[in-house]
Amino acid sequence: MTAALAAPLFPTPGLLERLRPHAAATALTGCDGCPARALAVCQALADADMDEFGAIGDQQRFAPKEALFRQGDDADAVFTITSGMVRLYRLLSDGRRQILGFLLPGDFIGLAPDERYASTAEAVTPVAACRFDARAYATLAERKPRLLASLRRAAADELAAAQDHMVLLGRRSADERVAAFLIALRQRLAVRGGGAVTIALPMSRQDLADHLGLTIETVSRVISRLARERVLLVVPDGVRVLDAQKLQALAAA
């Protein structure tokens, strides 16, 4: 139904390219040319330290739905996402799910390395990630104050994001949740060099619902209505922001 309108805007140039691993083109060893280099925790390290750093980590790839780790597993590794998107979630015993966040290139997982993982991390798109042995990583961090400082900043950011999300879940309406989520994701994609108008949504509606504390139907209805009101344009695997101001107003900061 939006096809007539959508057509002239297509094809979006490489909507999800930046989220996808760049084929086998990238050499899997070393941090040179890592697409997440400028974003990640590792940027804190001097070039001289990178060899040592690269030595304890190795690139891994994950297919969609494949888990980086599962809730309850021994927490023996930490990760930096280099491409793709990861969902981090917790399950209740009866199957209810809360997605804690969607991770993008440059994001770090494992700031809270307790004995066991408290949540599951699963690839949404094909994912590439640097995997580090948790123990080796911790040891290295102890000797590199700049890395440690960088980790602290990452932890601070993540905590702030978690608090934002608590406000969203506790005190916002369905419309506000969707709008606020889209604005936040757009911001994060923009930092990573994504276009500023098209927001990639490679995750399913169920994923969105489980992140926003809603049902799949409510998410669908809200997005449909925003499209009808010409705030958004629904495109495959994403949305285009037609009226950023209105979207902002809906988010009700």
Partner DNA sequence: CGGCCTTTTGATGTACTTCAACCCCTGTGG
Partner DNA sequence: CCACAGGGGTTGAAGTACATCAAAAGGCCG
Site of interaction with DNA (CB under 7 A)? 1, 173-175, 204-206, 213-221, 223-224, 234, 236
Exactly one of 70, 171, 225, 230 binds its own copies (CB under 8 A); that residue is 171
Residues 6+ apart with CB under 8 A from 47: none
Exactly one of 112, 191, 196, 249 binds its own copies (CB under 8 A); that residue is 112
Build a one-symbol-per-residue string for 207-226: x at contacts with its own copies by CB under 8 A, - elsewhere: ---xxxx-------------
Tell me the CB-side half-sphere exposure of residue 240, using CA atoms within 13 A.
18
CA distances from 221 to 53, 90, 135, 207 (A): 47, 25, 46, 15
Provide the edge-to-edge strand list for the sheet that holds 57-62: 57-62, 127-133, 77-83, 108-109
Residues 6+ apart with CB under 8 A from 88: 99, 100, 101, 102, 103, 109, 119, 120, 121, 122
Q: How far is the CB of 19 from its own copies (least distance, A)?
A: 24
Exactly one of 59, 119, 120, 198 binds its own copies (CB under 8 A); that residue is 119
Enter the tokens of residue 182: 């889209």
Q: How far is the CB of 14 from its own copies (least distance, A)?
A: 32
Q: Does 63 bind its own copies (CB under 8 A)?
A: no
The binding site for its own copies (CB under 8 A) comprises 90, 92-94, 96-98, 100, 111-114, 118-119, 142, 145, 148, 151-152, 155-160, 162-163, 165-167, 169-172, 210-213, 252-253
